[in-house]
Amino acid sequence: MLETMNTHQAGASSANGLDIVEIRSQIIDIPTVRQHKLSSLSTTQQNYVLVRVRTSNGVEGIGEAATLGGPRWSEESVESIKATVDRYLAPAVLGERADRFEHVAALMDRAAKRNTAAKSAVESALFDAVGKTLGVPASTLLGGAVRDRMRVFWTLASGDVGQEIDEAEQKLAQRKHNAFKVKIGAQEPDADMRRMERLAAALDGRATLIVDANQAWDETTAVRCLERLHAVGVTLVEQPLPAWNVAGMARLRGRAQVPLMADEAIFSEHDALAVGAAGAADVVSLKLVKHGGLLGTKRVAAVAEAAGIGLYGGCLLESSVGAAAHLQVFATLRNLDWHCEHFGPQILRDDLVTAPIAYDNFEVLLPSGPGLGVVLDEEKVRHYAREA
């Protein structure tokens, strides 16, 4: 198969062994085991940009950027991410030391505004390469892990309540998940509320339920729905209003009996500061693709905590590569009271690594190897690489 692979190489290698000498990117497409339906899109295939960084000691680091159905969740698509990495980010950082993480991040910020998913993939690969060089997990480079396993949510997002009940029962029986996030907002609000009532009755207190409206409602609709969601035991509602409506989120939070989580409203630490100052959220969903990488995620988490906002480990259906990078960061956060949702590898029909992320007793386990802790399966990468 002819792969869409771009390579950027620096000139001479230095003796220190940590100079960035090559950056390669390629697009990967992997089918999902079922339809994943949000308020604004539906997909049966997940798309990634896989980035490889090679340092002058010959070590290769890997990183990944995920999107959902093209530039509809945010402005980035896998096509734009790849172009940004190849044309702007790679030339800006080639020849720099891979362990000068903040310096490289500043160079990428000068080379491209926003494009946070593209930057996160490059930075993840740097942490992987440096961790492999030193023989330590990426979490050690971020201050050290305070946990090696995390309670993990599974997302129910087919829109078929019967199928979702069966899916939840299977996860409970396997002792993989007893916490579920339900994607709502694609249907009429009353239909979604009836769906939640059926789910809550079927699970009958055996599982935690939260919902994600993905910006689908206006304020009056949200007020009405939040009352019904509280009545059936939903414990958290994610981004019920459009991301721009921070003032509306604050008004809604003042009336709601259910805590509210900000996702699309918080990309940067400046966003976190504004949401915190407005009193517009109880929780923030952390994602590398939003915050520009591992360092940005730590910064957003710090600002959120300072504002009294709780932390939740969000995902964008990453493979084990992207999930591992997220878990390395989440493991270093002192307070992750709202847990995480890195179930992505399980929704894929296949994965990109030799040993996928592990799940046990309703928790996801932090990979223990150096760097991100996962190793690419090159045959699978070739199989799922997008053709030129």
Query: Closest Cα partner for 128 from 384, 367, 377, 379?
Result: 367
Query: pLDDT, tens digit, for every residue of 278-314?
Result: 999 999 999 999 999 999 999 999 999 999 999 999 9
Mean pLDDT of the chain: 94
- Annotated catalytic residue 341: yes
- In terms of residue numbers, what domain contains 74? 5-137+379-384
Same domain, 294 and 316: yes
* CA pair distance 52, 61, nearest whole angstrom: 6
Same domain, 149 and 131: no
Q: Which CATH number goes with the domain that contains 92?
A: 3.30.390.10
Catalytic residue (choose from 171, 183, 287, 290): 183
Statement: residue 101 has pLDDT above 90:
yes
Mean pLDDT of 216-237: 97
Query: pLDDT, tens digit, for every residue of 16-58?
Result: 689 999 999 999 999 998 877 676 666 788 999 999 999 999 9
Same domain, 148 and 29: no
Same domain, 237 and 297: yes
Same domain, 235 and 295: yes
Same domain, 148 and 227: yes
How does residue 2 score in pLDDT terms, banded at 50, 70 and 90? very low
Statement: residue 3 has pLDDT above 50:
no
Same domain, 117 and 163: no
Query: pLDDT, tens digit, for every residue of 309-333?
Result: 999 999 999 999 999 999 999 999 9
* CA pair distance 61, 126, nearest whole angstrom: 6
Q: Residue 27: its pLDDT value, please?
A: 98
Same domain, 180 and 275: yes
Same domain, 284 and 357: yes
DSSP per position, 173-190: HTTS-SEEEEE-SSS-HH
Q: Which CATH number goes with the domain that contains 168?
A: 3.20.20.120
Domain count of the chain? 2
Same domain, 79 and 176: no
Name all contacts of 199-206 with Cβ < 8 Å and 24+ positions apart. 199/156, 199/161, 199/164, 199/165, 199/168, 200/232, 200/233, 200/234, 201/232, 202/165, 202/168, 202/169, 203/165, 203/168, 203/172, 205/233, 206/172, 206/178
- Annotated catalytic residue 79: no
Cβ neighbours of residue 379 under 8 Å, at least 6 residues apart?
none
Same domain, 177 and 194: yes
Residue predicted with more confidence, 1 or 150: 150
Task: Provide, rounded to the nearest whole percent, the portion of the chain with pLDDT above 70.
Answer: 94
Give the H/E segment covering residue 53: strand 42-55
Same domain, 288 and 204: yes
